[in-house]
Structure 1
Amino acid sequence: MNELTDLTELRDLFADKPHPTADRLAPARTALLAEARTQRRLRARAAGLRRLMLAGGLVAAMTGGVIAVQTFNASAPASAAEVLRLAAEAATETPWPEPRDDQYLHYERIAESRAEKGISNVGGPRHVTGEVWASVDGSRPDLWWHKPSKSNPRGPEYKELLTRCPERGARRPAYADLREWPTDQEQLRRKLAEHGNEVVPNKDTVTRTWNGVVNILGSPVPPKQQAAIFKIAATLPGIETEELKDATGKSGIAVTRVDNRGPGGAISRESLIFDKTSYVLLGGQELVPGQGRELWSITRPQITDVLPAWSTSVKRRGCL
């Protein structure tokens, strides 16, 4: 799509029409979004989580005298905030296991680094597929199985048992701990900002909160807390939508926050990637000029009572 050509044609088309104002545009936008939400509810009853936004249609918003125009189609909700609100709905409507504290969450996590404009990440391009058995309450070691990637089937493979060590500083809380996190927006916002400050200290409140959101969502999160986290992320400034592929190559709709925390103040883009139809979280991406592109994906967890039998031969290798 040529955005400059599209905007020029749109300008010429409406050159002789009255200049739009916020008062003129607000009712149309409200009506369109209301109809879209109604359609989603009807489709949800008929086909689970298959939400489709209205095709066609235009939404214009007056901000400081500039008209922002966005085209609606089956995979493009109105805004980044709307994507996150849909993700919050999906978090509570999608079937999710209810594990006991003495069980494990079994899921797959894929991480990949790629060169960006000829510049590779430190250590070069890599692709890691990890199978994880995470202790629900963190009282027992987690089991990680790092497998060779499809792109490098002869790559390294190893298995390790990892305990939770407080001295490691910033780390994701155990699932049972997250289950106790508040869903009240103000309390949870403070919690996320505190955690985000552990991840990258001495940043502004919005950046700390966003860092907390992305870090916590890198592992399974209970549905109520996940939905509440998405709602908080929807209120943060500087977020936008784009189409990205996750670490598995699946194309999704991304919510990206732009920040100047790259080397020397370079602009970085950190994203959460969602399924275009169900709005279930697929993974994320971080793009920093001069440092390449990092992608990750996570599958929905299953519950198991015990680790696989071969884990008894695996030695403990360190801390989470």
Structure 2
Amino acid sequence: MDDLDLIRDRAEAVGFAPAEHLAPARERLLAAARGDRPHRSRRWFWAAGASIGLAAAITAVVALAPAEQVGIGVGVANADPVRVLTEAAGAALEEPAKAPRPDQFLYVRTENPHHHIREVWLSVDGTRDGLIGDTEVTGCRDGKAPYSGPYDPAKKGTLEDCRPSPAYQADLPTTADAMLAYLDALPGTKDGDVSSMGKKVFMLAYERALTPASYAALFQAAAKVPGLKALDHVTDGAGRPGVGITWSFPPGSAPGAKPIVLVFDAGTHQFLGTDDSAVTVKTFVDEAGQRP
């Protein structure tokens, strides 16, 4: 392995500091080397030990720079999951709070690592017909909707009882404890199953719209879930870098089960999606099929 290989391997592991921070760090490193060794040792340091010195210099420059000055972003190295989610809650509170009209649609565009694009148009109040791709999603009007169960010729064209499923949920809790209780009460929760809690957080953050206060409460509630893990240097489904937050599967889970990894931008702390599906557009439009 030559000098360039050492530099490349070390740089990929720890990242680079910005150029304006390199010079002071380099001078401190050189001053320490000059002050701690006699003339002969200094010459050996740069001649016989050049490869080791170069790799060490890269590490020292990064280590001397504060985390927020390193090119890998705030909180990426040794990320604290509670801090990441708390900062995500703060970022959510800064989002515009204007509510959509009941007759509008939530448009969400997502992308996976294979560049497959998914588009959905979901009724804001749940009463209008939306779209998932090219497939119509019927709304629930006056407590009735066209039958949509398993194929049954006898039920074709009949109506069934329903409840609207609004894409915009303005009535969700706005405090962490109340949101945690709300999530616990949703179907599918098992005692101690933090993975199912993670899925519920994902469900609300992904293809649903909440008020900024409820989004903040959602991430604050997630921060209270035990067993959180932060993953460094992950990318979302569109390849955007960020910090990952995940939960462990409970004992007895199916072999090969893959936990959800929620991805947050390392700089802005905004929710980006997951490691296999990125939310690239989320907004409100006037008609199903309309793009912003």
Q: Which residue of 2 aligns with 1:304?
A: 285
In structure 2, relative to structure 1, the CA distance for the partners of 1:172 and 1:300 (3 Å cut) is farther
Q: Does 1:84 pair with 2:85?
A: yes
Q: Which residue of 2 aligns with 1:252?
A: 242
How far is 1:164 from its partner? 5.2
**Mapping for residues 174-189 of structure 1, pairs under 5 Å:** 174-176=166-168, 178-189=169-180
In the superposition, the TM-score normalised over structure 2's length comes to: 0.59
**In structure 1, how many angstroms separate the alpha carbons of the residues matched to 2:268 and 2:173?**
25
**In structure 1, how many angstroms separate the alpha carbons of the residues matched to 2:251 and 2:111?**
25
* SS in structure 2 of the partner of residue 215 of structure 1: helix
Q: Does 1:56 pair with 2:66?
A: yes
Pick the structure with more strand per residue.
1
Residue in structure 2 matching 1:215, options 197, 200, 203: 203
In structure 2, relative to structure 1, the CA distance for the partners of 1:305 and 1:85 (3 Å cut) is same
In structure 2, relative to structure 1, the CA distance for the partners of 1:305 and 1:75 (3 Å cut) is same
The Cα offsets for residues 198-254 of structure 1, whole Å up to 9 and x where unpaired, read as: 3xx545354443332122222133221111000011111111222211111111111
Q: Which residue of 2 aligns with 1:22?
A: none
Percent identical residues: 26
**In structure 1, how many angstroms separate the alpha carbons of the residues matched to 2:164 and 2:237?**
21
* SS in structure 1 of the partner of residue 84 of structure 2: helix
| Residue identity in the other structure for 1:75 | V
Worse-superposed segment, 88-97 or 100-109: 88-97
In structure 2, relative to structure 1, the CA distance for the partners of 1:73 and 1:250 (3 Å cut) is closer
| Residue identity in the other structure for 2:240 | K
The Cα offsets for residues 145-201 of structure 1, whole Å up to 9 and x where unpaired, read as: 3xxxxxxxxxxxxx1211257988xx995233x211122333321221232x43xx5
**Mapping for residues 64-143 of structure 1, pairs under 5 Å:** 74-76=73-75, 79-95=80-96, 97-111=98-112, 128-143=116-131
| Residue identity in the other structure for 1:141 | D
Contact 1:260/1:267 (CA < 8 Å) preserved in 2? no
Residue in structure 2 matching 1:278, options 245, 268, 289: 268
How far is 1:271 from its partner? 1.3
* SS in structure 1 of the partner of residue 209 of structure 2: coil
**In structure 1, how many angstroms separate the alpha carbons of the residues matched to 2:99 and 2:73?**
32
In the superposition, the TM-score normalised over structure 1's length comes to: 0.55
Contact 1:106/1:302 (CA < 8 Å) preserved in 2? yes
**Mapping for residues 233-272 of structure 1, pairs under 5 Å:** 233-242=222-231, 243-260=233-250, 263-264=253-254, 268-272=258-262
* SS in structure 2 of the partner of residue 232 of structure 1: helix
**In structure 2, how many angstroms separate the alpha carbons of the residues matched to 1:225 and 1:309?**
27
In structure 2, relative to structure 1, the CA distance for the partners of 1:309 and 1:248 (3 Å cut) is closer
How far is 1:138 from its partner? 0.8
In structure 2, relative to structure 1, the CA distance for the partners of 1:282 and 1:261 (3 Å cut) is farther
For structure 2, which runs of at least 5 residues remain unmatched after alignment? 1-8, 15-63, 150-162
**In structure 2, how many angstroms separate the alpha carbons of the residues matched to 1:254 and 1:241?**
5
Q: Which residue of 1 aligns with 2:183?
A: 192
In structure 2, relative to structure 1, the CA distance for the partners of 1:189 and 1:263 (3 Å cut) is closer
**In structure 1, how many angstroms separate the alpha carbons of the residues matched to 2:97 and 2:281?**
8
Measured on the aligned residues, the alpha-carbon RMSD in Å equals: 3.6
**In structure 1, how many angstroms separate the alpha carbons of the residues matched to 2:190 and 2:274?**
23
Q: Does 1:224 pair with 2:199?
A: no
**In structure 2, how many angstroms separate the alpha carbons of the residues matched to 1:205 and 1:211?**
10
Contact 2:194/2:248 (CA < 8 Å) preserved in 1? no
Contact 2:244/2:262 (CA < 8 Å) preserved in 1? yes
How far is 1:299 from its partner? 2.9
| Residue identity in the other structure for 2:265 | D
How far is 1:110 from its partner? 2.2
For structure 1, which runs of at least 5 residues remain unmatched after alignment? 7-53, 58-70, 113-125, 146-158, 286-294, 311-320
In structure 2, relative to structure 1, the CA distance for the partners of 1:173 and 1:211 (3 Å cut) is farther
Residue in structure 2 matching 1:163, options 124, 138, 144: 138
